[in-house]
């Protein structure tokens, strides 16, 4: 849970409170006078003190929220059972081959003419 900074509207004291991210907009109760305190930004995030790998992870996480990336093409590995257009065209060419190709699709290619 992150730490948020607040300033009381009554006594004007500033304090920090650890709260859930879902409650970041909600006002907090002042620990000194009990009145409502609004959230303020006193300090900037400590990005300079973070490791480069942590900063990059934050950057990727923020980007993926509004710019999701996906692969443009289908990437198959060995044994892919999808019906690709290129494979279907290749099989049709083999079936329509001339008399010199007596191979049946799906059979063993080394047994031509048997």
pLDDT beyond 90 at 33: yes
Residue by residue, DSSP assigns 72-91 as SS----TT-----HHHHHHH
pTM exceeds 0.85: no
pLDDT tens per residue across span 66-90: 666 665 566 676 666 666 565 545 5
Q: Does domain 3-40 have CATH number 1.10.3470?
A: no
Query: Taking a C-beta distance cutoff of 8 angstroms, is the pair 7, 41 a contact?
Result: no
Q: What is the DSSP letter of 50?
A: S
Each residue's pLDDT tens digit, 86-112: 554 555 444 555 555 555 556 666 666
> So what's the pLDDT on residue 75?
67
Q: How confident is the model at residue 31 (pLDDT cuts 50, 70, 90)?
A: very high
């Amino acid at each position: 849970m992150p730490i948020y900074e607040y300033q009381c509207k009554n006594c004007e004291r500033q304090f920090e409170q650890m709260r859930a991210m879902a409650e970041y907009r909600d006002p907090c109760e002042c620990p000194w006078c009990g009145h409502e305190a609004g959230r303020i930004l006193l300090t900037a995030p400590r990005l300079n003190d973070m490791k480069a790998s942590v900063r990059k992870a934050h950057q990727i996480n923020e980007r993926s929220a509004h710019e999701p990336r996906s692969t443009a093409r289908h990437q198959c590995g060995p044994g892919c059972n999808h019906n690709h257009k290129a494979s279907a065209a290749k099989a049709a060419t083999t079936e329509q081959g001339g008399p010199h190709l007596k191979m049946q699709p799906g059979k063993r290619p080394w047994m031509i003419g048997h």
